[in-house]
Amino acid sequence: MSRLCEDRVVIVTGAGRGIGREYALMLSEHGAKVVVNDFGGARDGSGADTGPADEVVAEIKAAGGEAVANAADVSNFDEAETMIQQAVDTFGHLDVLVNNAGILRDRMLVNMDEAEWDAVIKVHLKGTFAPARHAAGYWRARSKAGETNNARIINTTSVSGIYGNAGQTNYGAAKMGIASFTIIAARELARYGVTVNAIAPAALTRLTEDLGMGGETEESKDAMSPRWIAPIVTWLASEESNDINGRVFEASGGVFAVAEGWHRGPEAKPVDDPTQIGEIARELVGQARLNAGMDGKDQDGGLG
């Protein structure tokens, strides 16, 4: 079997369980040296446990691969920097950062408290920014020193963010933010030999097991296995993907697709009289595509 990531050094955050674990295992199978990051918190982000990261490292080493555990809180700016440095100190360089760590604290907007909002935004959005910021600084320094990069940042967005899911204003806002972050960072970092893409995964894990995502039969459970998502991440992490930049891929056992971003829809001549806006706005909305539902297809989702 051809190994796509031979000697590539990869950090995977949130790699102790679920989707991240599948990423780490497949990347190692394809020759990558993996920093397995996991803070070890519960589904809602509470607590900490180094066990999950250590277990994945042991599994990789038992299969003949190279890996090291890391327990950094990726939303902590200084700890994120230490994580990047650990990869360089341990394996000599860094090629790929996979931002996967996340938590859920779902609540309808009228019931959501400040702590539930802040925790989810911090882990997902700042937990993407902080590692990416330090990895980007490392690659920029290499570029300015005359070194060549063929590097990757692979972020994790969600259909809950790019399409919108009731009960997840905090999670969805963070994930939409990550999609936008991905596009902008892709434009900024290309000059340093770095591509930035994102995955919108769908899988049955401890984060999603109570969200009604399927799994009633063995066939549906297999279709929602995280193993279906690891191949696109592994390919994006490889040197083969250097012509793909600033894209969002949906991935699951049922869907593999590119999600298309916002585009300007129907237009009208601007007016400065608010009494004329209603008729014009309704005409534009009537001509426009409906917002996508959670399946990515046109539907109003109950919106007027």
Catalytic residue numbers read 171
According to DSSP, the residues that pair with 132 across neighbouring strands are none
Nearest to 85 by CA among 60, 68, 101: 68
Residues 6+ apart with CB under 8 A from 173: 121, 161
Q: What is the separation of C-alpha 270 from the centre of its chain, rounded to a whole number of angstroms?
A: 38
Give the Cα separation of 102 and 110 in Å (integer).
23
Let me know: does 182 contact 192? Beta carbons within 8 Å: no
Buried b / exposed e along 77-92 (16+ C-beta atoms within 10 A): eebbbebbebbeeebe
